Amino acid sequence: MVDFKVINELCLMVKCTGNDVIFTKAGAFIAGECDGAKNFRFTKVILGPQQNVGQAILGQLARRLTRENLPLMKVEFLGDSVTYYANNQQHVIVYHLEYGEKLYVESENLLAFSSQCDYSVRFLGQGLISQKGMFTSQLTGMGNEAYVAVLSDGNPIVISNIDTRQTITVDPDAVVCWTNSDPDIKLDLSWRNLIGQHSGESYMFEWIGNCPTTVLVQPMERPHDVHVID
């Protein structure tokens, strides 16, 4: 049994009772405590956390092709312990997923998830516009202890249209994660792009009112290598 908790905004604490397994970003472990000898161990995840070997291989190939590799390690707990994880002083946010609830996370923003999350790779289809986001990580809750910890550069904001049904528009390079519905990809191209006078906001993620979602947005855009016409 595991429980995820945020400590001081910048650190994830995982409390384990008994034997269990979690997956974390490789190298994210910073400290741990237990009675007696160390009762947790780390193993590099070679292919992927999927139970199905074929899916793990396909997921790894997809990420290599889009340069969105997800280096993971498996943490095995062999008794009661408390361990701590962090990454470059980034802010940590924890989601507790209901059974069947889905969370979509950009690979570099994924810190850790419990074994009761089903992991898969999802294709969104905007890779011709930006290398970020063509494939994204999908975590699905499969039990009462389905936890996901994500990372944000700075304190994020939360935008939701579940109650308001308003349209949400977000820069893909600032998105950390979202729930429920996939976004539409909206292009904003004009003659200005042809003469190098584009605004720098040439494409967006958009959720309209009948696509309810909650989106976590960080106050810092990721750099990317592929652009719309410059």
What's this model's pTM, rounded to 2 decimal places? 0.83
Of all residues in the chain, the percent with pLDDT exceeding 90 is 58
Q: Which domain holds residue 82?
A: 2-217
Q: Do residues 116 and 133 touch, judged by C-beta distance below 8 A?
A: no
pLDDT at 55: 56
Q: Is residue 225 part of a domain?
A: no
CATH number for the domain including 117? 3.60.160.10
Q: Residue 72 carries which side chain, given as an amino acid letter?
A: L
37 located within any domain = yes
Which residues of the chain fall short of a pLDDT of 70? 47-69, 124-135, 188-202, 224-230
**Residue 59: its H or E element:** helix 53-65
Q: What is the tens place of the pLDDT at every residue in 175-194?
A: 999 998 888 887 765 444 44
CB 145 within 8 A of CB 84: no
Cα separation, 102 vs 178, in Å, equals 9
Rounded Cα distance, 43 and 76, in Å: 8
The verdict on residue 227 lying in a domain is no
* Residue 223 included in any domain: no
Domain-embedded: residue 228: no
Roughly how many angstroms between the first and final C-alpha of the chain, as a whole number? Answer: 51
pLDDT for position 58: 58
Residue 117 domain-assigned?
yes
Q: How many domains does the chain have?
A: 1
Residues 6+ apart with CB under 8 A from 104: 122, 136, 137, 138, 139, 177, 178, 179, 182
Q: Within a 13 Å sphere around the CA of 114, how many CA atoms are in the beta-carbon half?
A: 26
**12 belongs to a structural domain:** yes
- Rounded to whole angstroms, the Cα distance separating 191 from 81 reads 60
The reply to whether 90 falls in a domain is: yes
Residue 172 in 3-state DSSP? helix
The values of phi and psi at residue 60, to 5°, are: -65, -40
Residue 207 one-letter amino acid: W
Q: How many residues does the chain have?
A: 230
